[in-house]
Chain A
Amino acid sequence: MRKRIQKYVLFAAGAILLIFLMQQINWLPSFSDVFKSKPVVIDKTPVLVEEINELAQLITVTSYDEVVADSVVIDPKKITLKTMPGISIYPFSPLFDRLVIIAKGKVVAGIELSSISEKDIFTSEDSASLLMPAAKILDAVINPADIETFSETGTWDNNAVTKVKIKAREKMIKRALDKGIIGKATEKGKALLENFLRSVGYKKVQVIVSG
């Protein structure tokens, strides 16, 4: 009897080991994979060029940041229905819809060089003087790949989600402005242009920030 049990245990252990090894070398799908939902993959579609714009933007400072933005929608009707005993279909569902996102992005600041015209440049022998516009925010970037949905309850339409993302972007711009991005971008732009003027042969250079 004991020998028979020993045989069964040995057989079972061997079978488990065999299954495990087969899974390790991907000959068998893992048990968790059987009920794992397959990721939704988008189809390959072409990229259509709509517009090509010529630019002359000197990007001098980029602020990398991570912000949290949220939105809560409270529907009084829903609350009344949920709090009335015997009426609520989902008594344990939250009383309000909430969306919380964590957005990672960047705020790009720099000088719009296209606004420098001939009248802003003065040259005389080995001296050059340039009137440069102050730096400004050129772009604030929060791309889909940099957004993490931390919490989502209820149903959110595209417009409501867009509003939360815009809120995150505005928060990011505000934080960059608070860090003095404009002043730093103007200083760096000035230094870069002075360096460029020196490189192209001018000994005495002066870059003045307009405004």
Chain B
Amino acid sequence: MKAGVVSCLLFFICSCNSSTKEKEQEVLALKEMSSLATVEYLVTKIIKASDNQSWYKIGDRKILMSCQASLKAGIDFSKINADKIKINGKEISLELPRAELLYINIKPEDIKVEYEETGVFRNSYSADEKNMLMAQGEKQIKSSVDSLGILQTAETNASVFVSNFLRQLGYKKINISFSSIKPAVQLK
């Protein structure tokens, strides 16, 4: 009998032991930046989903959406300082920081529902559900950044822009190199 009571107690104690993680408080404010955006990639993606995995739901729901996203990449302009610059008369050498993805922008008007099919016993996708599917699409776009080659293009364009700017300032020979330190990925 005692063992039974102990078992029950153990069961209830363990059931109540769900950990509650406190969410970190986010501060939304006006923040100063110093990024030089040098390239924009406009990409499109098809979002394809089929809701037929729950065994007790009769019928299927299919949806096909398309979206266009803008990805901007560039360099941290504040990291170009006197330590990274060598001047010899009309010759200048400078080291630029490595390019990073600045942000992704999926405009609401660039999201289109191309096709939707709903079974007789099912409700069509709600606005919230469609948004959740789009959020998955956004995640897939973010993860494809490396294969798009956007960072290499951003560095090439940064090099061209800075060269032209320095030429306009009167420098005749310009040598540009890139830092070996890769920026930490911090996409908000």
Q: Chain B 69-86, CB within 8 Å of chain A: the 1/0 string?
A: 010101001101110010
Choice from A41, A52, A108 contacting B39 with Cβ under 8 Å: A52
The smallest beta-carbon distance between B184 and chain A, in angstroms, is 18
| Chain B, interface SS category | mixed
Q: Chain B 14-50, CB within 8 Å of chain A: the 1/0 string?
A: 1100000000000011111111111111111111111
Residue in chain B with minimal CB distance to A140: B105
Contacts of B109 in A (CB 8 A): 162, 166
B140 at interface by CB-CB < 8 Å: yes
Whole-angstrom distance between the alpha carbons of A37 and B51 in the complex?
Answer: 10
| Chain A, interface SS category | mixed
Choice from A35, A99, A121, A181 contacting B169 with Cβ under 8 Å: A121
Choice from B11, B38, B103, B127 contacting A156 with Cβ under 8 Å: B127
- Do A162 and B49 have beta carbons less than 8 Å apart? no
Q: Chain B 92-134, CB within 8 Å of chain A: the 1/0 string?
A: 1010000000111110110111000000000010111111111
Contacts of B186 in A (CB 8 A): none
- Do B32 and A188 have beta carbons less than 8 Å apart? yes
Q: Chain A 30-51, CB within 8 Å of chain B: the 1/0 string?
A: 0000010110111111111111
The B-contacting residues of A in range 11-27, CB under 8 angstroms, are 12-14, 16-17, 20, 24
The B-contacting residues of A in range 106-137, CB under 8 angstroms, are 106, 108, 110, 113, 118, 121, 123, 128
A residues sitting closer than 8 Å to B (CB atoms) are 6, 9-10, 12-14, 16-17, 20, 24, 35, 37-38, 40-66, 99, 104, 106, 108, 110, 113, 118, 121, 123, 128, 138-139, 141-145, 147, 149, 152, 155-156, 158, 161-162, 165-166, 169, 176, 179, 181, 184, 188, 192, 195-202
27 A-B residue pairs with Cβ-Cβ distance under 8 Å, sorted by A, are A6-B4, A38-B53, A41-B136, A45-B47, A47-B43, A51-B42, A55-B157, A57-B72, A61-B31, A108-B33, A110-B37, A128-B169, A139-B105, A143-B105, A144-B137, A145-B139, A149-B131, A156-B127, A161-B131, A162-B111, A176-B30, A184-B30, A188-B34, A192-B77, A200-B85, A200-B92, A201-B85
